Amino acid sequence: TEIAPGAVHLPDWLDRGRQRELLAACREWARPPAGLRTVHTPGGGTMTARQVCLGLHWYPYGYARTAVDGDGAPVKPMPPWLAELGRTAVTDAYGRPPDEAYDIALVNFYDGDSRMGMHRDSDEKSAAPVVSLSLGDSCLFRFGNSASRGRPYQDVELRSGDLFVFGGPSRLAYHGVPKVLSGTAPAELGLTGRLNITLRVGGLLP
């Protein structure tokens, strides 16, 4: 379903087997070097979701080739199968493939107390849609507008296996995760907490 122009939600897009495979891959990526780390915000705060990056390392000032707010190691590569998953996701959501190849993945690990405040993702130089995949606990996802952090916004529940694609007029909309719904993960997955994988196209970077 399209919740706003260019914002398409495909619930239960990944079957349980694919969810397990993606979770296993995320657990490998989380290991050092350049593994899971805490993101420090410019104001001296810390993000409550921990993160691991593939392809390029995101930090609050942009992208880097090394884990600048982690151990400084070179960022892990973007696997071709994950880039292909992004291409398939956009094709399923929009009925046509994206123009560019996915080359960045950001994986966010949420526990029951993690949140993500309302923000826009504007560090990519490409206008390609962002692909979001959710695993584990459900969350309340807040999708707003492109002008401000405030209303109007829509609250949508994201569950394990859901796909969301954000492109076109929705690409620069404010969004956040006000709440994780603890204990809602499918038991077979063996995950406490929530994982979100976003696939992005970096575009021309210096």
Q: Which residues bind ligand MD3 (CB under 6 A)?
A: 106, 108, 116, 121, 130, 132, 141, 164, 166, 170-171, 173, 175, 177, 196, 198
Q: Per the structure block, which two tokens stand in for 34?
A: 């350049």
Phi, psi of 22, deg, nearest 5:
-65, -40
Give the one entry of ligand MD3, Fe ion, none that residue 108 binds, where binding means its C-beta sits below a cut-off of 5 to 8 angstroms depending on kind: ligand MD3
User: In the complex, what is the shortest distance from the CB of residue 190 to Fe ion, in angstroms, rounded to a whole number?
Assistant: 27
Residue 135 pairs in a beta bridge with 195
Which of residues 121 and 157 has its CB atom nearest to Fe ion in the complex? 121
The DSSP output letter for 179 is E
- Report yes or no: 34 and 65 within 8 Å, Cβ to Cβ: no
Which of residues 23 and 177 has its CB atom nearest to Fe ion in the complex? 177
Which of residues 74 and 169 has its CB atom nearest to ligand MD3 in the complex? 169
Give the one entry of ligand MD3, Fe ion, none that residue 116 binds, where binding means its C-beta sits below a cut-off of 5 to 8 angstroms depending on kind: ligand MD3
User: In the complex, what is the shortest distance from the CB of residue 45 to ligand MD3, in angstroms, rounded to a whole number?
Assistant: 16
Phi, psi of 153, deg, nearest 5:
-145, 165
Q: How far is it, in rounded angstroms, from Cα 35 to Cα 73? A: 9
Closest-CA residue to 60 (of 123, 108, 148, 142): 123
Our measurement of the distance from residue 110's CA atom to the centroid of its chain's CA atoms, rounded to an integer in Å, reads 11
**Binding-site ranges for Fe ion (CB under 5 A):** 121
CB-based closest residue to ligand MD3:
196
Q: How far is it, in rounded angstroms, from Cα 53 to Cα 62? A: 12
User: In the complex, what is the shortest distance from the CB of residue 88 to ligand MD3, in angstroms, rounded to a whole number?
Assistant: 18
Give the one entry of ligand MD3, Fe ion, none that residue 14 binds, where binding means its C-beta sits below a cut-off of 5 to 8 angstroms depending on kind: none
Which of residues 14 and 106 has its CB atom nearest to ligand MD3 in the complex? 106
Half-sphere exposure of 88 (CA within 13 A, CB side): 10
User: In the complex, what is the shortest distance from the CB of residue 171 to ligand MD3, in angstroms, rounded to a whole number?
Assistant: 6
User: In the complex, what is the shortest distance from the CB of residue 58 to ligand MD3, in angstroms, rounded to a whole number?
Assistant: 8
Which of residues 50 and 175 has its CB atom nearest to ligand MD3 in the complex? 175
- Give the number of other CB atoms < 10 A from CB of residue 138: 20
User: In the complex, what is the shortest distance from the CB of residue 24 to ligand MD3, in angstroms, rounded to a whole number?
Assistant: 19
Q: What is the length of the chain?
A: 206
